[in-house]
Structure 1
Amino acid sequence: MHKFIAIGDVHAEWDTFWEALRAASCVDADGLPTPPVRLGRYQVVVIGDLVHPKSPEAYTRLTGCDPFDMNDEDHRLIAAREQVRQLEKLQRYQAAAPHAVHVILGNHDDAVLDPRFVLGTSGGLKHVEFDPEHGGLLLPPPLHGWMSHFPRELRVGRLQFAHVSPLPAHLYYDDLFYSDRSAKTWFRDTPDYVDMAGLVFGVYGHTKTDGGVLLHHAPTGQPLFAIIDALTEREYLEVLYDAAAEVPLRGVSVVPF
């Protein structure tokens, strides 16, 4: 049996991210995996969207530029460099235990790797700090190569981790994805997708819900899936799972920190 520690969309809230890993006993004082992670007993899953702060205030926290202005070349470069620094730290962390640290590809990560789409916030802020055509910094090749190998999902038996949903169409961030409102609403409109996919439990991000982690139960009372875009609410998810057991899902906990 393994314990999975799943952390929702990071969006450059790196201090909070590392705090979550410390609270879960997954990172040591040197920023490296603890013995339970190195031994594979703890499996760390980052559900995607490492990049792009969600608001001007979040960019200010990241950069120290107050107020932050994406149109200011210096501000853009600071935002990119600070994210690069933290991405490199996460890359070192994963490299120390690649069998136990998993990073799922989110749509914002994909947009940095291939800037076909300019993503932004509901307030009109455009994320262009890594888009050279809009005055941004090109992602350094070592990071580009590392992020290019992020999986689009992680499956262990009938347990799934993915950025958006169990639907195969939501694994690829193309024109259809951005025009399909179900990427943001499926868990309310059609929650039985998880059961239809043959899963015993699913863990997803992408959409912030009211009140932190959303834990959805089947009519039987069994946990069915969780929406965990709740890092800024200071919550992560722990899943105990034994793929070899007759009842593989042994426990699901929302953990505040």
Structure 2
Amino acid sequence: MHKFLAFGDVHADFETLWSALRAASCADAHHRPTPPVHAGLFQVVLVGDLVHPKNEREYARLAGVARFDPKDPDHLFLAAREQIKQLDLLKAFQDAAPHAVHIILGNHDDAVLNTTYVLGTSGGMVHTEFDPEHGGLMLPDHLRTWMQSFPREIRVGSLQFAHVSPLPAHSHYDDLFYADHSPKRWFRETPEYVEMAGLSFGVYGHTQIDDGVLLDEEHHFAMIDALHAREYLEVLVDPERQPLSHSVRAVPF
């Protein structure tokens, strides 16, 4: 039996992520993998969007200012610097157990690598701390190389982990992706996509679920952008049984 611990979109809330990893016995107090992770008994999956706080309040908290101004280069520097520190810690965590720590490329991560798209929040906040053309910093080369290595999905037999959905088109963050409403709506309007893709179960982020992890047992998927609600997903997989046998539960921390 293999245990997968899946964590939703981080959006620079690394304090909560580390709390979740510690609660799941995946990380110790020094941000290092635990023995079960080193041994491969626990498989850690982050479903993307490591960067970009979700709102102005979170930006202010991260930068240590009373009110965050996305047009102030000093504020952008502070927001970028704090994220770089935490990305370095997370990279070291993965480097210590690369066989057991997996990070999927989210659209916000992709936007840092490809600054063609300036993303923003529903409240009008723009994410430019890693965009030199808008006063931000360039992501350091070693972190850029690391993030460029992130896969767009992880498959374990018929179990899929991806950032948005089962659709291959939703893993490429281009003009069509940002013009289309379906990346945010598919799980309510067309949940049968999971079965159509031939999956036994799918695990996705991208869309924040206010009440915590959304577990749709009828359609065999979970939406796990739920760190803000202090929940992550645990998936137990028996790879010896065919078709793939698994059990899933949302875990509070």
| TM-score range for the pair, normalised by the shorter chain length | over 0.9
Aligned to 1:227: 223
1:157-196: CA deviation from partner (whole Å, max 9, x where unpaired) = 0000000000010010000000111000000111011011
Distance 2:113 2:246 in 1: 37
- TM-score, L = length of structure 1: 0.97
Aligned to 1:27: 27
8 A Cα contact 2:47 2:204, kept in partner: yes
1:241 paired with 2:237, answer yes
- Report the number of matched residues: 253
Aligned to 1:168: 168
Aligned to 1:38: 38
Aligned to 1:159: 159
Distance 2:210 2:143 in 1: 33
Counterpart of 1:252 in structure 2: which amino acid? V
Q: Counterparts in 2 of 1:57-76, with a 5 A limit?
A: 57-76=57-76
Q: Counterparts in 2 of 1:69-218, with a 5 A limit?
A: 69-218=69-218
Query: CA RMSD for the aligned pairs?
Result: 0.9
Runs of 4+ in 1 over 4 A off after TM superposition: none
- TM-score, L = length of structure 2: 0.98
Distance 1:235 1:107 in 2: 22
Distance 2:245 2:47 in 1: 19
Distance 1:149 1:171 in 2: 14
1:255 paired with 2:251, answer yes
8 A Cα contact 2:50 2:108, kept in partner: yes
Distance 1:19 1:77 in 2: 26
- Unpaired segments ≥5 residues, structure 1: none
1:108-154: CA deviation from partner (whole Å, max 9, x where unpaired) = 00000011100000011100000011011000000000000000000
Distance 1:98 1:48 in 2: 16
Distance 2:233 2:82 in 1: 27
Shift of 1:247: 4.9
- Unpaired segments ≥5 residues, structure 2: none
Distance 1:97 1:215 in 2: 29
1:204-245: CA deviation from partner (whole Å, max 9, x where unpaired) = 000012311100022xxxx60000000001000000012221
Counterpart of 1:240 in structure 2: which amino acid? L
8 A Cα contact 1:158 1:243, kept in partner: no
8 A Cα contact 1:9 1:47, kept in partner: yes
Counterpart of 2:223 in structure 1: which amino acid? I
Q: Counterparts in 2 of 1:41-52, with a 5 A limit?
A: 41-52=41-52
Distance 2:90 2:210 in 1: 28
Distance 2:192 2:243 in 1: 20
Name the SS of the counterpart of 1:207 in structure 2. strand
Distance 1:118 1:2 in 2: 39
Name the SS of the counterpart of 2:208 in structure 1. coil
Distance 1:243 1:182 in 2: 32
